[in-house]
Amino acid sequence: MKKLLYITLSIVCFAMGLNAQNRGETIRNLPHYDRQKVHFGFLLGMNTFNFVIKDNPNIKSLDSVYVVQSSPDIGFSLGIVSNLHLGDNFDLRFLPGLSFGSRNMTYTLKVQNNDTSAFVPFVKKVESTYLEFPLLMKFKSRRYGNFRAYVIGGGRYTLDLASQAKVNDDGKQSIKLNRSDYYYEVGFGLDFYLEYFKFSTEIKAAWGLRDMLKRENHLYSQSISALRAKSIFISFLFE
């Protein structure tokens, strides 16, 4: 996560430098840009996927499982930007795209060896490839020179193309996720009007509404009562 923030801050500082330079020259880039009813673009970004885990209340009574935790890896996202201008301060945005990412599920197991016992971590990687359909409302501040701030929020529907929910894994005891999920998300960002296009950087957090765990009759599934998704997205948009 620190790497994501460092890269984002570096790009924001670079864009603000360009913006300050243009203000010093009293140049207003793309003066008619915001009069367009509809415009398009693309986005590139990074993400971290994670889980909100609700343990089985009887987890300590299960054979050898002591605790279950989740940690994210850094993934990447790409998508298309479709923007409908609703007014001076509001836009409706549809950003279909693909996101690739993974999480590490760490199970702390109690291992008995003769008269002694030890706690041993055992990691299962859960990978996802999401086809995403976010529909968001963007609330924009006034434009100051070649700069504008905004907040954004809405909903997202996702399909996990890598879901193993219907796959027979021949007893490998993997963690399987259901295929679809619904999210709500909020975030904020900065628009920079450059000479030939608008560049934006934004950060969003999203929380899934469904329990994503497919129940199976093995230790790694039974130790979890509910498994809901949460995500952080850092995106760079070119419009």
The band of 23, judged by pLDDT with boundaries at 50, 70 and 90, is very low
7-11, 209-213, 231-235: segment of lowest average pLDDT = 7-11
Cα–Cα distance for residue pair 113/95, rounded to 1 Å: 54
CATH of domain 2-238: 2.40.160.20
Mean pLDDT of 102-123: 78
- Residue 234 contacts residue 219 (beta carbons within 8 Å): no
- Give the percent of the chain with pLDDT over 90: 60
Residue 98 has pLDDT above 90, yes or no: yes
For residue 116, which amino acid is it?
A: T
What pLDDT shows up at residue 110?
Answer: 72
Mean pLDDT of 123-146: 95
Length in residues, the chain: 239
Buried b (16+ CB within 10 A) or exposed e, 112-127: eeeeeeeeeeeeeebe
Q: Per-residue pLDDT tens for 27-84?
A: 889 999 988 999 999 999 999 999 999 887 776 666 666 678 899 999 999 999 999 9
Between 220 and 204, whose confidence is greater?
204
Domain ranges of the chain: 2-238
